[in-house]
Amino acid sequence: MALMEPGATAALLAVIGVLLAACAIFTRALDRIGVPVVLIFLAMGMLGGSEGLGRIAFEDYNIAYRLGTIALILILFDGGLNTAWRSIRRSAAPSGLLATFGVVGTAGLLALIARLLGLTWTEALLIGAIVSSTDAAAVFAVLRGGSLRLRERVRDTIEVESCLNDPMAVILTLGVITAVLTSSAASMWALLYLVPVQLVIGAIVGVGVGVVTRFILTHARLANGGLFPVITIAGAMCSYGLATVVMGSGFLAVFVCGAVLGNGELPYKPGLRRIHDAAAWMSQVCMFLMLGLLVTPSQLWPVAGVGLLLGLALAVLVRPVVVMLLLAPFRWKLRESAYVGLVGLRGAVPIILATFPVMEGLPEGNRVFHVVFFIVVLSALVPGASIVPTARRLGLTVKGGQAPAAAIELNSLRHLSGDVRVYQIDPSVAACDAALAEISFPPGASAILVVRGEQLIAARGPTRLRAGDHVYVFCKPEDEPVIGLFFGDPLNS
């Protein structure tokens, strides 16, 4: 990247700051229609690129790969940190099948279509492998954005699959590149035993590092809360590095490490989740900014036709067909499996994988990279815009609690025996229309705040709860079942 004068650098940073703020402001509007906001950052990257207004000549794929790997580690760790064991258990079989055979089927079918469109077998196989997995951050941004509440089975399968399928795409891409470089198909056959071995090793390393990290967080005497995310990030990096060194799947290890931590008792847990959520968002933003900077618009036009066709084929044909075939043995309803097939958002992983052929010096590298650009954009835009209305049209949404206008978090540097839970009062629960004094709270438990619309109401004995209210209750873990009899399920369980 060419050095710029201090004045030009300051001006560029000011423009980027304005654009970042504008993108954040429009996030809510984009969430309503299901379009991932990161696409704005993609356009911003292109605007600042070598052929855009910014004239930033960024063509270092090695740096992009290293930064992208760090970004993906943070994204997957956040996904694990926010995924409950019960969600993993409920969706283990279908998600596992989609994350392995689904990725292979998607890669193979898309490669066949690419070959029929005139690409060489090398280009077709590389493209199929690179875009074969869905993106955890993009999926979470849409499904957890606040405007959509899916049925648990559908939601859990989509989310867990998006966290588990990245290792398979990485293995497939490296296998294709190795086969091309060695002019031998033996490396592709080696995947039959390499895939399960790497997945098993990655899972074991992830559990081990997660347990050690949780022990450190629980027993270490840290000076302040700002050091806790330093430990968790260290755990994420160590899990990736150790798993990769011992020939395991580093990305799976990161997700498993995050899940072990997220499902255990930790000090400063709400703060850690908030920090890692922000880190995952920034990572996703940086990845799309880099993609925009790396893309050369003049090289897009020669591949625009085939890129658009492959992007549409992946979004509306390849993934839906593969998903419906694999979910058929589970006796899912057609509308459920079709919807899971629709939610196939691509994001950070294809961006990273698309740099592999370029770094290995393959003649097809640049062409493949720019075709992947179209596929990532279309597979995020076309399904993304239809996710919310299609879910409602198919009857796959459920009534769920909405986030309150105010939030209370209990952060502590030590493990405490209690926590703050937030409940939304539904007309069907026993506490609806009851005064707090009429509710038999367990000893040591108490309501501490009522949020009614934009009003904050002190939780006193005469305070009467109404449908739609959010009630913050302090309680011990063993008291939660009793409190649930009055208030239902907590929103922050």
Residues 6+ apart with CB under 8 A from 396: 150, 151, 154, 335, 336, 339
C-alpha to C-alpha distance for 313 and 65, rounded to whole angstroms: 27
CA 228: distance to chain centroid? 22
Helix ranges (DSSP H) in 147-224? 152-164, 166-182, 186-219
C-alpha to C-alpha distance for 151 and 149, rounded to whole angstroms: 7
C-alpha to C-alpha distance for 358 and 493, rounded to whole angstroms: 45
C-alpha distances (whole Å) from 411 to each of 278, 373, 404, 414 are 17, 42, 19, 9
- For residue 3, the model assigns a pLDDT of 46
For domain 6-393, give its CATH number from 3.40.640.10, 1.20.1530.20, 3.90.1150.10, 1.20.58.760: 1.20.1530.20
Q: Hey, is 457 helix, strand or coil?
A: strand
Query: For residue 264, how many C-alpha atoms fall within 13 Å in the half-sphere facing its CB?
Result: 19
Which residues share a beta bridge with 422? 472
Residues 6+ apart with CB under 8 A from 266: 214, 217, 218, 272, 415
Sign (positive or negative) of CA dihedral 95, 399, 145, 469:
negative
C-alpha to C-alpha distance for 319 and 180, rounded to whole angstroms: 26
Which run of H or E residues covers position 446? strand 446-452
In this prediction the pTM is 0.79
Which run of H or E residues covers position 66? helix 61-81
* Amino acid type, 317: L
C-alpha to C-alpha distance for 365 and 303, rounded to whole angstroms: 13
Query: For residue 252, how many C-alpha atoms fall within 13 Å in the half-sphere facing its CB?
Result: 27
CA 446: distance to chain centroid? 35
C-alpha to C-alpha distance for 92 and 95, rounded to whole angstroms: 5
Q: Residue ranges per domain, the chain?
A: 6-393, 419-487
Q: Hey, is 212 helix, strand or coil?
A: helix
* CATH class, 419-487 region: alpha beta
Walk along the chain (493 residues) and give the pLDDT tens digit of each residue: 444 456 556 765 676 666 566 666 666 665 555 556 667 777 777 777 666 666 667 777 888 888 888 988 998 898 888 888 888 888 889 998 999 899 999 999 999 999 999 999 999 999 999 999 887 767 776 776 555 677 888 888 988 888 788 888 888 888 888 888 877 666 666 666 777 888 889 999 999 999 999 999 888 877 777 788 899 999 999 999 999 999 888 888 999 999 999 888 888 787 888 889 888 888 877 777 777 778 777 778 888 889 899 999 998 899 999 999 999 898 888 898 989 988 888 877 888 888 889 888 888 888 898 899 888 888 777 766 677 788 888 888 776 556 665 666 666 656 666 778 888 888 888 889 999 998 888 888 889 889 988 888 888 889 999 988 899 998 888 888 888 888 888 876 5
> ∠ CA 324-328-329 to the nearest 5 degrees?
150
Q: Hey, is 50 helix, strand or coil?
A: coil
Q: Hey, is 402 helix, strand or coil?
A: coil
- For residue 266, the model assigns a pLDDT of 81
- For residue 2, the model assigns a pLDDT of 46
